[in-house]
Amino acid sequence: MADMPNAIMNGLEVLKINNDARSLDGLSSVESLLPKLASKKHKIWIIVGLVVGSLAAVVFIALCYCCFIARRSKTSPQGHAWLALPLYGNSQTMTKNSTTSQKSGTASCISLASSNFGRFFMFQEITDATNKFDESLLLGVGGFGRVYKGTLDDGTNVAVKRGNPRSEQGIAEFRTEIEMLSKLRHRHLVSLIGYCDERSEMILVYEYMANGPLRSHLYGTDLPPLSWKQRLEVCIGAARGLHYLHTGAAQSIIHRDVKTTNILLDENYVAKVADFGLSKTGPALDQTHVSTAVKGSFGYLDPEYFRRQQLTEKSDVYSFGVVLMEVLCTRPALNPVLPREQVNIAEWAMSWQKKGMLDQIMDPILVGKVNQASLKKFGETAENCLAEYGVDRPTMGDVLWNLEYALQLEETSSALTEPDDNSTNHIPGIPLTPMQPFDNSVSMIDGVTSSTDDDGEDAATSAVFSQLVNPRGR
């Protein structure tokens, strides 16, 4: 019995040194665990190595690609890597199909949907066309930048608008201009030929308008003044362009900067609306306006838009009303040098129009040379455009019709005083012989017709209505 405690103790010792490996040797059990610990550390190092190696491979591939692109751009002078502007959605939605410029062979990353953006010009082509932006070729300076006359390799004259980095108008206006003009094509809108965004430049290339802005033909230059008929035709052309903007697209476009410097004349004095950098897509069918920050030119701003920051097509109508008064009175929209009541042409001209004395403030060159019925209709049209509230203003289509009517009155008056069938003023469809009694009520002042009573005005109006009814005359 004396050995029993020892036996029990031995049993405990066996249990104590026994391990999961069924080893009775404590040292050997520790050594058996070492391979497992080593294998785990080995796996961790393998994973770390794989991650580091993958990252190194990606970086190496990226560096090789960048070097390849840089080398290609240096060795190929005609190559140009251009990031397409996301004009029709974001860059992820644009198809990365490149189109090659037929003239320069420049590849540009442009989507198929935007292939009508026009030609992409390299900066070198622009400098060659403008003789390195020669100041003698300067056409004008606007909010976006300076405009130069240029000549392309094929002899085509163009207008080159170079963005000023310090201008308030920047990349947003640059994009808007390209987007709008790439979707719009109309005889009375200035066409965009192409653009350049190389070397951080923002350059737009337009068709060249030989006779420049309308304002230059009204005041401030030595250019010969426009006749009343020419002024009416210019206003009609601009109205057609604006009417197309408001109604010609799936969703209306509001110009937002209608003024005489943005109405350009080509070699035939055909008016075209220009400068779409501030343009805005109009309200949807279920909306009455577009809420946006006020932008435009002082003197032409719609007061309702200015107060409420609610933009509509009628804002363009108001601005166009200011243009009409500017055309008639040949003075700036705002002139702070004048007495207070005359500073704003809209307020000043409206006060005379409401008194029926608009002829007292018209361009002196036109005095005695304008048919009174035509002038009356013109004044009424301008007055309606300048109504305080947009709901009271006409649509651009109504403005266009009234201006065409004023032109018909002027042409009818000229035709009635010149019965020669070979006269260029004769309007086919209007019988001149039966209207001879009307000649007795028309006096000649310095070789120009002037209506002397209301009967003559009514006769001219009747003749115009007969012209409007006759489809051949329209």
As annotated, the binding site for ATP includes 161
Provide, for the chain, the percentages of residues in helix, strand and coil under a 3-state DSSP scheme, each rounded to the nearest 5: 50, 15, 40
Nearest residue to 403 via CA among 186, 287, 233: 233
Summarize the annotated binding site as residue ranges.
161
Q: CB atoms < 10 A from the CB of 116, how many?
A: 11
Token reading at 7: 């036996």
CA gap 238, 189 in Å, rounded: 8
**Sign of CA pseudo-dihedral 101, 262, 279, 246:** negative
**Would you give the DSSP letter of residue 4?**
H
Enumerate residues 6+ apart whose C-beta is below 8 A from 80. Answer: 73, 106, 107, 108, 120, 122, 198
Q: Which residue is associated with the tokens 């068709």?
A: 207
Q: 386 with 301: CB under 8 angstroms?
A: no
Q: What is the CA radius of gyration of the chain?
A: 38
Q: 397 with 243: CB under 8 angstroms?
A: yes
20 among known catalytic residues = no
Catalytic residue among 257, 302, 316, 363: 257
Q: CB atoms < 10 A from the CB of 166, how many?
A: 7
Report the amino acid identity of residue 287: Q
CA gap 362, 15 in Å, rounded: 121
Helices H, strands E: what count in the chain? Answer: 12, 16
Q: 84 with 178: CB under 8 angstroms?
A: no
- Alpha helix stretches (DSSP H) within 152-294: 171-183, 228-247
CA gap 277, 179 in Å, rounded: 10
Helix axes 313-329, 372-385, angle to 10 degrees: 140
Query: Which residues are the active-site residues?
Result: 257
